[in-house]
Structure 1
Amino acid sequence: MQTTVLIVLFGAILIASLLAAPRRASVEGFFGGRSAEGAAPGLWVLVLSQVTTWIFARSLMNAAILGYYYGIAGTLAYAAYYASFLTGGFIVGRLRAQGAGSMQDWLGTEFGGTGNACYNFVIALRLLSEVFANLLVVGLIFNAVLAGSGTAAILIVAVVGLAYSAWGGLSAALRTDVVQMVVFLVVFGLAFAALIASPGFDVGAVLTAPGTSGSYNGWVLLAVAALQVFSYPAHDPVMMDRGFIADEETTRMSFLHAFWISTLCIIGFGFFGIQASLVGASYEGELIGTWRTMFPSWVFLALMISLLVSALSTLDSALASASRLVVEETGWLPRTLDAGRAVMLVFMVLGTVLTLWGNATLFDAVAVSGTASMFLAPVLFVGLVLHREVALWGYLVAFAAAMLGAFAYFARGWDMVAPLLPEGHKYEQLLVICVVVLAVGFAGVLAATKRG
């Protein structure tokens, strides 16, 4: 019965998303998010789109899992990444003040084609990881509620998500994000109300919980987030794309509202993981199996629908940003609907194939991606904030340091890499890597700063 209800409800959401997509597609709507009448998105369309694309399924699971293991420290560590809306809004404001229409505009002016190529490489990998990770969560959910159904669910969501995304591009993503976010807020709100009203819930215990593994590594991750939060939004094309499609005041306010709404949602979802640790529940299947035994059926269904909606909303936005990247920013393909749709198809196919890899350590993708983005911290601070001219070689030093750091964390278990890292928990190693990447990056950029 539970499985049937989940399938029916999620099917209804898929149909609603298809109906919400624009009936007519235009090039400006597909790549620029304009309505059929040529209007830019309003404030709350932009806010809801920002929030729903950032509290995606992988993030919700990460917040809950880190809460389970490290208590409130783990959840706060993940929530700290949502300060990216503040740093991202600041970066967008500076870029627009200098007349740039995107990150690539500014990087191209400062560092030419090489600077853009490095940046585009990183964000292409990030977009691919978004498609892969959110499809993976869909598979995890359906395998948990109906053994063996994960692959079929992934394929269905991939096809339907691609269908309405390829029809309307960014304009479709914006419109469906609103529908999906409203559904998410209602469903998750009901589940959260049930959590705090349950007899065993104690807010004081949740706010001081150490998790099943102790809070230490949660605080380590909070330090990592603090080091990455300036550069992290700049390498997220979904956020950056939404920074240039409305007027400056609307954009500024959208980032501020998206910050507090998304942060509250992430912390709220983390409470479910913390509560699981407090009641002594065993860890089963990314907590999905744990929640199924902990909560009434309707609460469990509400959590699963929340995750599925967030996965769907991120997929369409990632595909829209992928088409903008390949068509608008690189110019590799003509600015046509067919070209944009072809790019979406390639990214969706690649992301779906990657789910066969089956890596369920969802935070690793964030850690690797965040470390790779750190080359932007010294470049943006010195070049964009301080308005100093930096030679290309300094940019490349920062880029190389970030790439090596990301690779070192990804390959930390390899025989050739493990001896190079300090002994300790993987998150302690990640913190050391981040410090070294920033130190080398700033040293290179400052040394390459042109005088005069």
Structure 2
Amino acid sequence: MEITLTLAVAAIAIISVIISPKAKNKGAFFQGLSPAGGQPGLLLLTLSQVTTWIFARSLLNAAILGFYYGIWGTLAYAAYYLSFLTGAKIIDSVRFQHGFDSIQAFLTDRFGAWGSRCYNFVIAVRLISEVFANILVIGILFGVAGSSSYTLAVALFAIVTLVYSMLGGLHASLRTDLFQMVLFLIVMTVLTVLVMGTGQATLENLMFKPFDISEPGPILLMVALLQVWSYPMHDPVMMDRGFLADRTTTRKSFYHAAWISIICITLFGCFGVIAGANAMSGESMNTVLMRILGETPMLLFNITLVISAMSTLDSTLSSSSKLVAVDMKWVEPSLKNGRITMLVFVLLGLLLVFIGNKDLFSAVAVSGTASMYLAPVIFFSLWGKRTDIPLWSYLSCFVLAVGGAALYFVESAGHTQLLGDSHKYTKLLYISLTVLIGGCLLFWAGALNTKQQPQTKTA
């Protein structure tokens, strides 16, 4: 099976390189414009949104959560995809109600230079973690950490994806997203049919873990519903795609991406649920799936992970180059500097693969908790149109959220037990509630002694 998977990966990589047009100007590389200067249409933008958010890490997380916590674990992860709905509202407000051309411009207008600095820090961490996580999944598929096959797979995958990403930037990413998403949907459909044919997709198997509000699955579902308000704003890949097309196309692309993503994630997660229902003591998810499904479905299972990893990594790299050159303005926004930035982010991701934490959900939980400093920004400054929130409220929120993210990281890794011996997702729920409520109170307190001065920009 490994040889077949290798050939499949090679074929996907070669086609992706072939269909990646070389960017000839900054509009194509950083803004995704076609050679004729055209914006992406609804189908292209929707499928790009979906494939860049159905990460290999996301698919694997949904399946693993289903394996351990039943359908409630999978639904908890699927709930994060409600971010497309809140993301649509965020983009619509920033672009068409307040009249800004980026999240950074909005934050700078409201909170000065520190507004964008804090935001850029959070999304830079997010981008590096995405590079790390998607490369890591490939290594897991091809070998044991530290083995020669693991190292070779990781290196080749990173190099190939980097090459075609450097060729065309965001425009190439959009083109390959379309190909990779169509291929993903075909493979996913065939895999689902094969799994259904085994007779394992029964209601009894899917409900092998009953609903219990004190269990990790339902608790994680509550965490997702708390984080979903701010989660999209800290994801530069999603936000970047919100500034590419007209208002109607953008809004529809977010709405369609929501239901398509939720269905795909839930379906894939159910494979993990089925494995959990059939697992014997000490068996891993992959071992159970191989035993009950056979080689062909498992091959397709792994191919879907490869496709999603590649599609997410190229989009992450294009957003990284835009962040550094266009949004942060650290370097001139030239094609050369954009490509160098991509290389740097890949190297940072590879470094984390070989020395970092191998818990895939940790990156989601940590970045999701850090992103919650943006929730009061969204509630008060964006949707509430308050222009009088003082900088100290914003910075205090940022410190609170980053502190909460750091606390969860050390608690979940077992380095500390400051929150007792509760399950790590219970701790995450407590931290998320504290950050959300505390942040809103800080904004409310900051607004008490200031006078509101509506200053909404027009597009």
TM category, shorter: over 0.9
Deviation of 1:10 after TM superposition, in Å, equals 1.0
CA distance in 2, matches of 1:386, 1:417: 38
Distance 1:167 1:303, change over 3 A: same
2:14 maps to: 15
CA distance in 2, matches of 1:121, 1:435: 22
Give yes or no for contact 2:321–2:342 (8 Å, CA) kept in 1. Answer: yes
- Bigger mean CA offset, 141-150 vs 165-174: 141-150
- Bigger mean CA offset, 185-194 vs 130-139: 185-194
CA distance in 1, matches of 2:268, 2:441: 39
1:103 maps to: 103
1:154 maps to: 154
2:268 maps to: 269
CA distance in 1, matches of 2:33, 2:183: 23
CA distance in 2, matches of 1:292, 1:215: 31
Aligned length: 448
Q: Tell me the alpha carbon deviations over residues 385-425 of structure 1, each in whole angstroms, 9 at most, x when there is no partner.
A: 11112111100111011011000001116888422x14411
CA distance in 1, matches of 2:282, 2:102: 43
Distance 1:206 1:365, change over 3 A: same
**What is the 5 A alignment of 1:149-298?**
149-202=149-202, 204-210=203-209, 216-281=215-280, 287-298=285-296
**What is the 5 A alignment of 1:335-414?**
335-357=333-355, 359-389=357-387, 390-412=389-411
Aligned residue type for 2:73: G
Aligned residue type for 2:233: A
Structure 1: stretches of 5+ with no match in the other structure: none
Deviation of 1:112 after TM superposition, in Å, equals 1.1
When normalised by structure 1's length, the TM-score is 0.95
Give yes or no for contact 1:423–1:429 (8 Å, CA) kept in 2. Answer: no
Partner-residue secondary structure (3-state), 1:328: helix
Partner-residue secondary structure (3-state), 1:149: helix
Give yes or no for contact 2:211–2:218 (8 Å, CA) kept in 1. Answer: no
CA distance in 1, matches of 2:352, 2:291: 30
- Bigger mean CA offset, 144-153 vs 243-252: 144-153
Give yes or no for contact 1:372–1:403 (8 Å, CA) kept in 2. Answer: yes
Aligned residue type for 2:113: G
CA distance in 2, matches of 1:187, 1:413: 35
CA distance in 1, matches of 2:41, 2:400: 40
Distance 1:112 1:252, change over 3 A: same
Deviation of 1:76 after TM superposition, in Å, equals 0.5
1:3 maps to: 2
CA distance in 2, matches of 1:56, 1:240: 16
Aligned residue type for 2:232: P
Partner-residue secondary structure (3-state), 2:129: helix
Give yes or no for contact 1:206–1:271 (8 Å, CA) kept in 2. Answer: no
Q: Tell me the alpha carbon deviations over residues 93-148 of structure 1, each in whole angstroms, 9 at most, x when there is no partner.
A: 11112111111110011011111000000000000000000000000001169964
Deviation of 1:281 after TM superposition, in Å, equals 4.5
CA distance in 1, matches of 2:209, 2:177: 35
Deviation of 1:266 after TM superposition, in Å, equals 0.3
Deviation of 1:372 after TM superposition, in Å, equals 0.3
Aligned residue type for 1:115: G
CA distance in 2, matches of 1:216, 1:339: 48
Deviation of 1:429 after TM superposition, in Å, equals 0.5
Distance 1:413 1:365, change over 3 A: closer
CA distance in 2, matches of 1:408, 1:50: 31
CA distance in 1, matches of 2:316, 2:100: 22
Give yes or no for contact 1:282–1:290 (8 Å, CA) kept in 2. Answer: no
CA distance in 1, matches of 2:365, 2:409: 9
1:432 maps to: 430
**What is the 5 A alignment of 1:433-448?**
433-448=431-446
1:66 maps to: 65
Give yes or no for contact 1:57–1:311 (8 Å, CA) kept in 2. Answer: yes
Aligned residue type for 1:349: L
CA distance in 1, matches of 2:256, 2:322: 25
Distance 1:141 1:109, change over 3 A: same
Aligned residue type for 1:138: I
Aligned residue type for 1:332: W
Give yes or no for contact 1:70–1:215 (8 Å, CA) kept in 2. Answer: no
Aligned residue type for 2:111: F
Residue identity over aligned pairs, in percent, reads: 48
Q: Tell me the alpha carbon deviations over residues 274-317 of structure 1, each in whole angstroms, 9 at most, x when there is no partner.
A: 000111256656x3343233322111110100000100011100
- Bigger mean CA offset, 121-130 vs 23-32: 23-32
RMSD: 2.0
1:26 maps to: 25
Q: Tell me the alpha carbon deviations over residues 207-236 of structure 1, each in whole angstroms, 9 at most, x when there is no partner.
A: 423189998110000010011000000000
Structure 2: stretches of 5+ with no match in the other structure: 453-459
CA distance in 2, matches of 1:415, 1:315: 30
Deviation of 1:201 after TM superposition, in Å, equals 2.7
Give yes or no for contact 2:23–2:29 (8 Å, CA) kept in 1. Answer: no
Instruction: Identify the match of residue 304 of structure 1 among 290, 302, 305.
Output: 302
